[in-house]
Amino acid sequence: MIGEAKVGNEDLNLCFEKLMMVAAGNSEGVKMNGVGITEWKDIPVELLLRIVSLLDDQTAIVASSVCSGWRDAICLGLTQLCLSWCRKNMNNLVLSLAPKFTRLQTLILRQENPQLEDNAVETISKFCHDLQDLDLSKSFKLSDRSLYALAHGCPNLKKLNISGCTSFSDEALAYLTNFCRKLKILNLCGCVKAATDHALQAIGRNCNMLQSLNLGWCDNVGDLGVMSLAYGCHDLRCLDLCGCVRITDDSVIALANECLHLRSLGLYYCRNITDRAMYSLAHSRVKNKGLTWELSMKGRYEDDGLKSLNISQCTALTPSAVQALCDTFPALHTCSGRHSLVMSGCLNLTSVHCACAVQAHRTFNTIFHTAH
């Protein structure tokens, strides 16, 4: 077989043989014009999978119930599935599909209205051990049982989205991190009970490959948690602390010193943040010029440093500190085209501008003056 087959070779051969056997057995269906394949069931599994990958998820599920050849091919080859279009029966659908689609790597179960229950997640954990990307957002009905099941069944998880799952506790989340150590992207937006300092300490201990963490509106998060996170997850690149009102400068200072790859930071509504935090971020960049030299040799200079910062409603900040920050990180922009430094609600920061905005302003002034 040519091309990038995601299925093991022996599985493919097995499927192919099965398809051939079916072809031989069914005298009515086979029409061989001497040589050459003339019947659809004789095509290689890879080709069938390529066609199925072009179908929408609902049709792909229907296709798996057409005949045994297709069923086997799809069950062995399907790696991505999204069931968010279900309005009522998502739970039953997962219960019947998870045992069949054991090679799933990506499973999107985001719901518009809550349908998913613990038994479905337990079934997923039982059968889909290759799962790397799982989206369970807005699953209001799930309890800690699901997290415990996932911990045991899906250790290869790299991306987990449990935003909006308000019933999860921090004990269960901490337990999960102990097993799912490969987590890179974790979304805990709105998980007020789960995202506590205790859980963050566990994450800092266990998930050292973490790159992106969303703690939006988790108001139980405090400095202790964020500092543990900073000390443990040095590869952190995106951190959203929107609505984490208990955070103070200490958290940001820890992040600035420990997480040198930080690209995106959200501090919306973190009223306790003062200029100290801003200066610490700026200084960390200066301090790490040595590191950036190494990176610039690899041609990644532009990638380094903050690219996006949200300090809306951080009313304690003064223009000088924020301007210093803006000057230090060339990727932070206030100009309309690439607005990445967001300062809504900070009325005293209107004078802060990025370099390109200043340039445009200066050019305008020059023209105006030469006219005189």
Partner 1 sequence: MSEVDMAVIKPEMMKSYIWLQTADGLIQQVEQEVAMFCPMICHEVIQKDMGSSKNYAISLPQRVNPAMLSLILDYCRFHQVPGRSNKERKSFDEKFIRMDTKRLCELTSAADSLQLKPLVDLTSRALARIIEGKSPEEIREIFHLPDDLTEEEKLEPLKNTTDDPRIRLLNRLYAKKRKELQERQKLKNIEVEEERVDDRSVDDLLSFINGDNGDSKGIKNSKSKKKNRRRKDQQKNTSANEAIKNHNKEPNGLNQVCHSAEVGQKVRAGVGATSNLHDVEDDIFDNKNEPDDGDIDDEIDPALKEKIDREVEDFARRLNSDWPERMQEILSFGHERKPVHFSLNGNGSLRRYANSEQR
The only residue of 8, 13, 17, 89 in contact with partner 1, by rule CB under 8 A: 89
Q: How far is the CB of 6 from partner 1 (least distance, A)?
A: 16
Q: Is residue 56 close enough to count as binding partner 1 by CB under 8 A?
A: yes
Max distance between CA atoms of the chain, in angstroms, equals 94
Q: Is residue 363 close enough to count as binding partner 1 by CB under 8 A?
A: no
Beta-bridged to residue 135, according to DSSP, are 108, 161
Question: How far apart, in Å, are the Cα atoms of 40 and each of 7, 269, 315?
Answer: 20, 60, 67
Residue 298 tokens, joined: 């690899």
Dist CA 102 CA 123 (whole Å): 11
From 38-46, 138-146, 149-157, 322-330, give the range in contact with partner 1 by CB under 8 A. Answer: 38-46
Q: Is residue 39 close enough to count as binding partner 1 by CB under 8 A?
A: yes
Torsion of CA 202, 206, 208, 210, to 10 degrees: -60
- Interacting residues of 323 by C-beta distance below 8 A, sequence separation 6+: 351, 352, 353
Q: How far is the CB of 74 from partner 1 (least distance, A)?
A: 11
Which CB, 18 or 271, lies closer to partner 1? 18
Which CB, 10 or 28, lies closer to partner 1? 28
The only residue of 33, 336, 351, 370 in contact with partner 1, by rule CB under 8 A: 33
Which CB, 50 or 361, lies closer to partner 1? 50
From 8-16, 62-70, 125-133, 271-279, give the range in contact with partner 1 by CB under 8 A. Answer: 62-70
Q: Map residues 11-30 to x or -, x wherever contact with partner 1 holds by CB under 8 A.
A: -----------x--xx--x-
327 by Cβ neighbours in 10 Å (0-12 / 13-18 / 19+) ranks as middle
- 160, 124 Cβ separation under 8 angstroms: no
Residue 173 tokens, joined: 């989340």
Q: Give me the residues that bind partner 1 (CB under 8 A), please.
A: 2, 22, 25-26, 29, 33-44, 46-47, 50-52, 54-56, 58-59, 61-71, 85-89, 92-93, 96-97
